[in-house]
Amino acid sequence: MRKLSILVITITLLAACNSSSSSSNNISDTSAKTTAANDATTAMNNNDTGWVDLFDGASLNGWHSFGATNVSSKWSVDSGAIHFNPDIKADDGDLVSDESFTNFDLRIDWKIAKGGNSGILFYVQDDKPKYEDTYKTGPEMQVLDDERNEDNKTPSHRAGSLYDMIQATAGAVKPAEQWNTAEIISNNGKLDFYLNDVHVVDTHIFDENWKKMIANSKFKQWPAFGTFKDGHIALQDHGFNVWYKNIIIKKL
């Protein structure tokens, strides 16, 4: 009887061990399958976004100075950001993307020095002999130290504005030397600016109202301004320290 009891206990223990092992294997298999599925979904989402880097964080590949084939040494990469340093003795000039864009969604972080002024331009025609400056063809999202720079006296010249045309919604910009996140979306004539997740400009371009806005701005003296539906992105040299990073774009 005693031998039989020992045999029964032994069989029971073996069955429990096998059940535990099987359960553990099932959990492990399920976890592995879930992880693999999540990885596949992440990879699929990353591949399907359509976003591409305009700045790799380490070099100025994909950029050049306006009307040139090289980059002025006033523009450099500093701690993972594009930095314009006016104190360096070199040629002036805006930094222009090698590629041009039609309908797009551009996202970019910027930081301006105290008292600084710069801008993000689009639909720029990279033809210096013909147009002389980027702002003579490309509209601009203003980059400014709103607190200190004297350009703050004109409402449509403040940070986030469609420069000299539409004033940005107030209160979105962060103080000088702090990072701001900007977004410019131009899609089939609809133009939207965002600054730090605030929708600061909402308008249409290329229509009759657009022409009226140009006629009432400083840009009326340059007939080609705001007429192009395809062009380059430009970062403005306005003689002040400014930094740009996390520059990505999606063609729409």
Nearest by Cα to 134 from 249, 232, 55, 243:
232
Nearest by Cα to 245 from 29, 28, 83, 49:
83
Out of 1.10.10.10, 3.30.930.10, 3.40.640.10, 2.60.120.560, the CATH code matching 51-251 is 2.60.120.560
pLDDT > 70? residue 6: no
Model-level pTM?
0.81
Report d(CA 9, CA 16) in Å as an integer. Answer: 11
- Domain residue ranges of the chain, discontinuous segments joined by +: 1-48, 51-251
Instruction: Identify whether the C-beta of residue 114 lies closer than 8 Å to the C-beta of residue 177.
Output: yes
So what's the pLDDT on residue 49?
A: 86
Q: What average pLDDT does the segment 106-134 reach?
A: 97
Type and span of the H or E element at 184 = strand 180-187
pLDDT band at 167 (very low <50, low <70, confident <90, very high): very high
Q: What average pLDDT does the segment 160-178 reach?
A: 98
Who contacts 96 (Cβ-Cβ below 8 Å, separation ≥6)?
Answer: 63, 64, 65, 66, 124, 126, 134, 232, 233, 234
So what's the pLDDT on residue 47?
A: 53
- The 10s digit of each residue's pLDDT in 15-55 is 444 444 443 444 334 333 333 333 333 333 345 589 999 99
DSSP class of residue 138 equals: S
Who contacts 173 (Cβ-Cβ below 8 Å, separation ≥6)?
Answer: 144, 146, 158, 159, 160, 180, 195, 196
Report d(CA 216, CA 214) in Å as an integer. Answer: 5
